[in-house]
Amino acid sequence: MLDGEGHLNLDGVSGYAATEKPVVDTGDSFSVSARVRLADQEPDHPMTALSQGGVHGDAFKVRYAPSTHSWELVMSHADEPGAAETVVARIEWPDGGQGTGHLIAVVYDDATDRISLFVDGYAGTAGIAEFHDSWTSGGGLQVGRGRTADGWGEFLHGAVDQVRAFSGALSEREVSMLG
């Protein structure tokens, strides 16, 4: 939970954290989660909480889209400029810097070719889609930014805590236990 001083506060302008190497193999089943609290009541731009990619794009990106009041999971079909994307979303209002934030979890199940976006342990039908075009990313995990057509962008204005990465696809029950 966002509690005390143990979380990462990001300014929405240039702040982020990153690993040097990938934390999950995006070409195989994986699960990634984090607790995220947005700082604004009405964000004015898309903000990426987590991403991991390659040279030209993100294999996966979890962002908040203020135009639809939704958390989105964006899965790119290739590490190429302008590559096709599969997007699933879960509607959730911004936090405005209050409360414990939301537990956001991404699950890719290579055996079933399915992606799921969980918000506070729930995916629903809008948060699940078929996905057949996974690829192995070589870049590190990014916390608070994602790739855009212009390079790094979509900087998160908010706080991130409890980032977790797993090889394999967590079940819905296992995702709910993360919170």
Does the pLDDT of residue 1 top 70, yes or no?
no
> pLDDT tens-digit profile of 56-89?
999 999 999 999 999 999 999 999 999 999 999 9
> pLDDT tens-digit profile of 86-107?
999 999 999 899 989 999 999 9
Across the range 128-142, mean pLDDT stands at: 97
Output the pLDDT for position 2.
55
Average pLDDT, the chain: 95
Count of structural domains, the chain: 1
Specify if 2 maps to a domain: no
What's the domain range around 32?
A: 8-178
Specify if 1 maps to a domain: no
How long, in residues, is the chain?
179
Sort strands 102-109 and 114-119 into parallel, antiparallel or unpaired: antiparallel
Specify if 26 maps to a domain: yes
Backbone angles phi, psi at 115, to 5 degrees: -110, 150
Sort strands 8-11 and 102-109 into parallel, antiparallel or unpaired: unpaired
Intra-chain end-to-end CA distance of the chain, in Å: 8
Output the pLDDT for position 4.
58
| CB atoms inside a 10 Å sphere around CB 109 | 18
